[in-house]
Structure 1
Amino acid sequence: MDHIPTGPFPYANKSIWHSSPIWPAWWMNGDGANGEFDMFEGYEPNDRASITIHDWNANLYGNCTIPSNITQYYNGSGNAYGGASQFSPDDTSLEPFNKAGGGVYVMQWDHGKFIREWTFVKPNIPADILNGSPNPNPDTWGMPNAYFPFGKNCNSEVVNNMYLILNIAFCNPPVTEECKDVVRMQPEAFNETYFLINYMKVFCRPNEQCLTGIYGSG
């Protein structure tokens, strides 16, 4: 990915907006009782990505809570909401990411065990990714930037039968009138609000079918 969407810097009249004018995201969603996993959500003026697991059916699977000692397993920038939302390191999102020339977001989903994620900013990209290896090895990449273990704290069925989504929305909740006015009245402020993507790859284990269809919208 060479460019992450950016927009107007979210300060006006020396007051901080409660809503980011842009809300780019790369995420997975499921149908019915399945939850959601966000590999990347960007909110100005943060220079780090929000990485989150959502359980939309607590009555069926219980609430996902991440163990308090989770920070020993990843080197991100902290967490929120009981660890269900973690953050990539500083300078791995939005303007700093773009100024570095882009990079790679990688998510490893080992169903029943964990989800891990890494963010690599150029030029610090592992050789097996850079060289297009058909079998990249996450165990050689060092500590992940986010880690979500499954087990007693979070049922692995929360994320199941998922599909990938890449989108840009405007004014994340809680939406303010100030944010909506900027979107309506300053279209020129969104000239840099786009994704520039070289590729998106899905890797499956040998003899495993993990990609069953491609969905799109016109």
Structure 2
Amino acid sequence: MLLLSPRNVFLASAVLQPAMAYQLVGSWDGNNWRDGMFIESGVRNNYEFVDYLSEAQAQFAGLLETQNGKLILRADSRISLDPSAPGRHSVRLRTKATYNNVLVIGDFDHMPKMTCGVWPAFWMVGPKWPQDGEIDIIEAVNEMPQNQITLHTSPGCVPGVGPEGQSGARTGQTDCGAGNGDVGCGVFNTAGSGMGDGFNGVGGGVYATQWTNEGVKTWQWTKGNVPFDVLMGNPNPAGWGQPVANWVGCAFNNYLRDMSVIVQTTFCGGWAGQLWDKGSCAGRAPTCNEYVARNPGTFSEAYWVINSIKIYQ
């Protein structure tokens, strides 16, 4: 009789599993990110106080670099500005292609520290907003301790929660078209390791979002707890258990189309700036723009360390 070690038993069982439905269509890290992504400059939405640099400018300023196969995106933390300036220098990374019905997996060692004025995001968006929708996988502002995973759509999408349930907590708005898409429908990741210092303190982790016509789901894992199929490049969401966010009940392909994937750090604007006088940040400066302009050192931890971004269809 053939005796198998525990390791061989594990490998044998993996081989016997049925082939996964998902195929890799894009995988980028610090070595090859230019193959499928680019640095997008000159973009400013929602009254943000940001000046996104070109690739050459960002490299010269030390805001874009690679280390040991990892891609690092920083915001400037050295230059004091006049509040009337265009904004604080930062870097915005975007996929060259657009996608439909995908599984997006982002592996990060570090994300921006949550502090007054900051607005980091790992997200997806269609070319026409809100008609083509938006999926915010990682997003928070100011000193928020939790990641708010949000769908933004045109009117008509009011989903429920899938049968597996969700570990996250609804923000209170269930209509993804609320506010003509501006408010959307959100779920807080209540895990302490889901955002900012909590995420960075455990060495980072992985976020995965599955988008199909039937549902949109997001999972998060800390390092050491990432499913084996994800690590091996054969993702099988059916085996991942309860997601953090779990929307069903819309024909989502009617509301989400031709999505780009973006990683960025911006400041103030229609969310961080709008909430400025509703929390502890208000006592630090009269406006969000003034605080961000005058306090560059606050943003020394406003950076992403990206191990990889992978897209499966």
Which category of TM-score, normalised to the shorter sequence, fits these structures?
Answer: 0.7 to 0.9
Q: Pick one of 99, 118, 126 that aligns with 2:219.
A: 118
Question: Aligned residue for 2:149?
Answer: 51
Alignment of 1:100 with 2:202, yes or no, is: yes
TM-score normalised to the size of structure 1?
0.76
Q: Which residue does the alignment assign to 2:237?
A: 138
> What's the counterpart of residue 31 of structure 1?
127
Query: How many Å apart are 1:124 and its aligned residue?
Result: 2.0
Matches of residues 194-209 of structure 1 in structure 2 within 5 Å? 194-204=303-313
Kindly indicate whether the alpha-carbon contact (under 8 Å) linking 2:210 and 2:218 is maintained by their aligned counterparts in 1: yes
Name the CA distance, whole Å, in 1 between partners of 2:275 and 2:244.
29
State the distance in 2 between where 1:5 and 1:76 align. 21
Q: Is the 8 A contact 1:23 1:169 kept in 2?
A: yes
Provide the secondary structure at the position in 2 that maps to 1:97. Answer: helix
| Partners of 2:126 and 2:172 in 1: CA distance | 23
Q: Structure 1 residues 70 and 150 mapped into 2: Cα distance closer, same or farther (>3 Å)? A: closer
1:199 alignment partner, SS class: strand
Match of 1:65 in 2: 158
Question: What is the alpha-carbon distance in structure 2 between the residues aligned to residue 99 and residue 134 of structure 1?
Answer: 26
Query: In the TM superposition, what whole-angstrom CA distance separates every residue of 1:33-77 from its partner, at most 9, and x where no partner exists?
Result: 31111111022423221111111x33xxx2x2233x669621113
Partner AA of 1:4 in structure 2: M
- Alignment-mate amino acid for residue 170 of structure 2: G
Is the Cα–Cα contact under 8 Å of residues 147 and 188 in structure 2 kept in the other structure? yes
Indicate conservation of the 8 Å contact 2:273/2:288, yes or no: no
State how far apart, in whole Å, the 2-side matches of 1:71 and 1:181 are. Answer: 46
Quick one: which of 271, 274, 277 aligns to 1:174? 274
**Whole-angstrom CA distance in 2 between matches of 1:85 and 1:72:** 18
Considering only aligned residues, what root-mean-square deviation do their CA atoms show, in Å?
2.0
Classify the secondary structure of the residue corresponding to 1:73: coil
Aligned residue number for residue 213 of structure 1: none
**Structure showing greater Rg:** 2
Q: Please give the alpha-carbon distance, in whole angstroms, between the structure 2 residues aligned to 1:135 and 1:122.
A: 18
Task: State the SS of the aligned residue for 1:120.
Answer: strand
Residue-pair matches, total: 182
Higher relative strand content: 2
Counterpart residue number, 2:186: 85
What is the rounded CA distance, in whole Å, between the counterparts of 2:147 and 2:200 in structure 1?
A: 13
- The answer on 1:148 being equivalent to 2:247 is yes
Task: State the alpha-carbon separation in 1 of the partners of residues 119 and 227 from structure 2.
Answer: 28
Are the equivalent residues in 2 in contact too, given 1:47–1:90 (CA < 8 A)?
Answer: no
Partners of 2:111 and 2:228 lie apart in 1 by 22
Aligned match of 2:301: 192
Residues 7 and 191 of structure 1 are in contact (CA less than 8 Å); yes or no, is this contact kept in structure 2? Answer: no
User: Can you give the 5+ residue segments of structure 2 that lack an aligned partner in the other structure?
Assistant: 1-107, 176-184, 277-285
Structure 1 position 7, deviation (Å): 4.7
CA distance in 2 between partners of 1:170 and 1:71 (Å): 37
Instruction: Note the residue ranges of structure 1 that are not aligned, 5 or more in a row.
Output: 11-20, 205-218
Q: Quote how far apart the aligned CAs of 1:187 are.
A: 0.2
Q: Give the aligned residue type for 1:166.
A: V
- Contact kept in structure 1, 2:164 and 2:242, CA below 8 Å: no
Query: For 1:162, which of 259, 263, 277 is the aligned residue?
Result: 259
> What is the letter of the counterpart of residue 158 of structure 2?
T
AA aligned to 1:36 is E
Task: State the identity %.
Answer: 31
> Within 1, Cα distance between the matches of 2:252 and 2:289?
38
The answer to whether the aligner puts 1:5 opposite 2:112 as a matched pair is yes
- Letter paired with 1:128: D
Matched with 1:22 is 118
| Contact 2:114 2:144 (C-alpha < 8 Å) held by counterparts | no
The TM-score with structure 2 as length reference comes to: 0.54
